[in-house]
Structure 1
Amino acid sequence: VPRSLSGHHKVLDAWQHLIMTPCSIQDLVKLGFTMQQEYGEEHIAKSFQSKGAARRNRGKQRGKHKHDFSGADSPLSDEEVWTPSSTATFPYTYVPLPRNVQRSTINVQSVGQARMIWGSTQEATSILAAVNFFRSSGGVVHEIGLCPLETQPLGDVACLQSSPVSWGKTLPLMGASPDAIVTFPDGTIEAIEVKNHAPFGTGGSTSKSMKPGTFAISDVEPYLEIAPWHIPQLQLEMLCLGPQCRAVNFMSCTALKGITILKLPRNDVYISRMVELAQQFHNSFVLTRRMPTEGYERVLYKDYDRFLADTKA
């Protein structure tokens, strides 16, 4: 497990975040009012529209945010989003910015920072690769945002069938944000999770020769299997997309050595154990505001070792 993801301090960081007082409706209203003030007089003037104009404007806004994932049709066609390729190699192609467009520069001081920036800037290119790849099987790639779990039926989650769910009380508020989804003509949905591997390593061959801000090219091969620490995230994405989502496409993307797309099927038994573990952590430490001690997981959850083994399998 990477050092950035391991250690009991990660548990304590999550616990401290979870016990914070959630934002209230009043806070949201206040925030919305502040944002409206900062938006400028032009936008504030819209609140003084006639009833008919306001109704038409609301209809337009609803139309913008209405999405139907039951079929393969996208709210916008591929031709309206991507540029058709001039060659037969790929249906759609990447069009770089013109050379005369001013680009922003970032003062990068560490390899970790460079890798984070790389992952964000290359995500759109990876999604374009997904658009081209899944098109051959009739798949349409859609943009997606946060998927709150409370919007989905939970009848397939075994650990929740014995008692009713009370969000924030018997079960924590949970959600997932896939990078995209792909819909197929038969109505099925699959999530897409992109991992862009930056081609940068620390400059210098020894610890003494390494200096902040110096880098070396260290391009890696795309992964041939999914690392265990990604499994809970991917299974949670399928859960939050609903029972019709039966797989996640994990894209391991490199700068110069291509992309692998690894399909992970949905595992409802694993999902149930994962939700049960989250539920017990919530009830034992979040609601009680009691700090979790090291080794709590095996004391709290009798099936933890089996859950861990399934994660590594």
Structure 2
Amino acid sequence: LTTSKVAAVIGTVEPLVAQRLGIPKGLQGGYRAINAYYHLLRRGDIKTLEDANRVLISSLDERKRGLARLNKRIDKRKLWKEWENHKPEADGNLQRHREQWAYKYTYWYRSERKKDALGYDGFVGSLRCAWGSIHEATAVLVAVNYFSARNMIVSECGMFAGEAILQDYRKRCSAFNNLNFAQRVQLTLLRKLHDLGCYIGATPDGIITRSNDKSCVEALEVKNHCPFQMYQNHKNPIRIVDKEPTESLPKSYIPQLQLEMFCIGFHCRSAILIRLTATKGSIIHRIHRNDEYIEIVLRRILKFFKNYVVAQKPPESNFGSNDRTLERIVELTHRIAEESSVIARIPHKDIQRCQPFNTPLLR
């Protein structure tokens, strides 16, 4: 179980709860829990590093063939359609040109990347994933530029597996004895999950340390806000809508950030979230660890796994909505969001960008 599925498993994206948390409709839906359920049913595929290499990593030949197919398609199609310099219509409205530009961009993804090596299937959600993947390096560079100027180091990292925490404290009994009650409870819940075959891991976009104190670690997560929005019942349903990032922390990110801090280790007490827009700059948040929240998340993962995955019964809509722990998660989510802080806003002119050779960007 990775952080991308945790919100679905604990029930915070189910419609009844998501509405209370102010989670956008596009991120809600019981189908997410169903997807997580089937994902966990395949838990036997990866148990060792060799299994992970076999399942997750494509061969070099496969990657070369996929890239060749993608480049061949790109060469056949013009990716850009200007709209800023178009003459306005008789009514002075440029919106039609903007819609056409957005349509050209998204049509390219729907048609040319439908079954390509990157795996995007053509839906709007996949377009947003594509946008996030393409601009992830730029968002990480925002972190590098900001924190390196403040005597801090941004490092690349891989997956932090939950079993590494268990192995570490099994080897060092003295370290286990130094844990507080909340940390011991978390380890106990993690052990129960692993005994059932539910392995937990998190892959943050990086970690941040102080150059003079490497023991102080923060998780780094970046989010790229896609400027394309879906409008129903319209001739050109996808439009460009790029807004200023709000200072309030989106609550949909909290389960992922808290689980990342947990998987990194008990010494990780905070996380940095960078939200990058297409033309409105970036905002940097700091979120603090909440051990009570993490404990409840682990309990709900354990309950989901026992009630649905082990029983091989797909979860119903709004599952567990009468559970008192879910009510507590809602309360803690609001508190964590309120206690988070905005470190900085980075204006658009200070975002270091480089246009990739094979992918269109907003100018």
Q: Which band: TM-score by shorter chain?
A: 0.5 to 0.7
| AA of the residue aligned to 2:285 | L
Q: 1:122-181 deviations in whole A, cap 9, x for unaligned? A: 111111111111012211111112211111258543544667824533472111111111
Quote the sequence identity (%): 29
Name the CA shift for 1:294/1:169 in 2 (closer, same or farther; >3 Å).
farther
Tell me whether 1:304 sits opposite 2:330 in the alignment.
no
> Which of 248, 257, 261 is equivalent to 1:234?
257
Residue in 2 that maps onto 1:169: 195
Change (3 A) 1:298 1:234: same
Separation in 1, partners of 2:53, 2:189: 36
Q: Please say if 1:11 is aligned against 2:33.
A: yes
Give the TM-score normalised by the residue count of structure 2: 0.58
1:186 maps to: 213
Q: Which has the higher contact order (CA 8 A, sep 6+)?
A: 2
Preserved contact between residue 252 and residue 260 of structure 1 (Cα < 8 Å): yes
Which one-letter code corresponds to 2:261 in the other structure? M
CA distance in 2, matches of 1:256, 1:302: 42
Q: After TM superposition, give the deviation of residue 271 of structure 1 in Å.
A: 0.7
SS at match of 1:168: helix
Moved more, 17-26 or 185-194: 17-26
Corresponding residue SS for 2:44: coil
1:121 — aligned with what? 134
Q: What CA distance in whole angstroms lies between the structure 2 residues aligned with 1:263 and 1:202?
A: 30
5+ residue gaps, structure 1:
40-101
Aligned length: 244
Given candidates 278, 288, 307, the residue that maps to 1:255 is: 278
Q: Report if aligned partners of 2:139, 2:275 keep a CA contact under 8 Å in 1.
A: no
Counterparts of 1:104-253 in structure 2, within 5 Å, are 107-109=108-110, 111-153=124-166, 156-157=182-183, 159-160=185-186, 165-170=191-196, 172-184=198-210, 185-187=212-214, 188-202=216-230, 207-210=233-236, 215-253=238-276
Amino acid aligned to 1:108: Y
TM-score by length of 1: 0.67
**Partner-residue secondary structure (3-state), 2:213:** coil
Shift of 1:245: 1.1
Matched residues in 1 for 2:184 and 2:316: separation? 28
Report the CA distance between 1:193 and its aligned residue: 0.8
Deviation of 1:307 (Å):
1.2
Q: Residues 228 and 239 of structure 2 are in contact (CA less than 8 Å); yes or no, is this contact kept in structure 1?
A: yes
Stretches of structure 2 that go unaligned for 5 or more consecutive residues are: 1-22, 63-74, 80-104, 111-122, 170-178, 336-363
Q: Which moved more, 1:145-154 or 1:234-243?
A: 145-154
Structure 2 residue aligned with 1:286: 309
